[in-house]
Structure 1
């Protein structure tokens, strides 16, 4: 019976029954993940594909684990499942982990010359290739695939996609740059050498060599996406909004008293962008605020 078949068999049992014969299976599976022999997703000539059995193996580790104390010294106390220990690194691994509260779960592959700045976290099933920087407060979620010489800036969040097992995880290809406070979620594929500037919430594929400057660009400009993405979120770019007759009438009825009775004056409207969206927020001077807005 293959390891994948054994995992499928154990998942059909109750947690108690699966634990009795499954601990050795999970330990063998986790060692293969840590060595990079098993991957949650792999790149083929036809594109990236998910290895469903690998994700099912991680689910088995969660299923049969029991919570146990994990104290660090006499002052720090943690509690986690015994099937999900922290990864043990040696100098021979060639990974630089700067002191300060970082954790890598066993079952994550971290290649040589990866730099981990504190505090950061790499979850089980993740694959982080050589020369990558995982900066302070960055998260590499379960099963995420990170390529060579990628820069994950401070507080970047690379989401984990463990369920459903057939779903593609988040993938960041070689030499991509993920800016500070960026979030990349829900199986997004960021292709090689793409750049995400700071504080972008990315839930859509990004084509190779593209540079995203803002959330507004990500939402309204489909030119940076891969051909498979068809612009934005797998759909054609939505048509521009049009004003209904009721909206126009309400504007006239509201605008006339605002202009001639309350003598409304607008300052600084030259700063509003001519294209794209923007937010107008009232300072709550009076209950009439919503009218001019």
Structure 2
């Protein structure tokens, strides 16, 4: 019933902020089209720490970033000229396509006064037909996202189709992504019809076949099996998966089906051919040293991006 259990690893963003990194994992690079997953927080910053938390402008190709907050606030700016304040419960879906740069800064007065932050960042790889598409950014408000409730269950569909629900979030391949809160003792399952499915425990703890699992664990389930997840306490799960896309290369913030496209993206960023956000172009993240490592095994990608 369980194909794999992935324990999140601590990853530093280089500014004193550590996150739980779930994907990619050395024994599993992707889950459906999802190729990256970080869980940041919950953490409370002092006002003195905030400036170091900003994620400076940096590039992406070949993927969509999906930012989903439980708590806090982040300001997104990108090379399309978009400025979007990201708040809890919204879906912020940026498709990089052939190339985009963006920043994420902590400018909320509440955060500056010592507020807290908790968010999930995922990357969704693009089908080959969309890898060189025009970049775009869409913000979806909570009232645009369907919610299902039942005894002991609260569920918000973030993207895709699941449990008879769907929304207008623009995706490029069959997938599902949902935020679920279960009360203690509640039994719950996963959507059928997808070959790759998982449940990430963001808060609390659950059982599957009598075995307990807790915060920071991604449960990857066997295709075609209808598992039963039992909440041992009030628990928050992120359900995700979908149709696999085939092999993808990942290096830093770049994803592609072709290793040579990764090399081109490196050169484009170094040469300034990927534009910076027009309203945040005074500084940027330089290309990391690659030390001649292959595209599939190079430094970990930039988180919260």
If the length of structure 2 is used for normalisation, what is the TM-score?
Answer: 0.21
| Bigger CA radius of gyration | 1
Higher helix share: 1
Higher strand share: 2
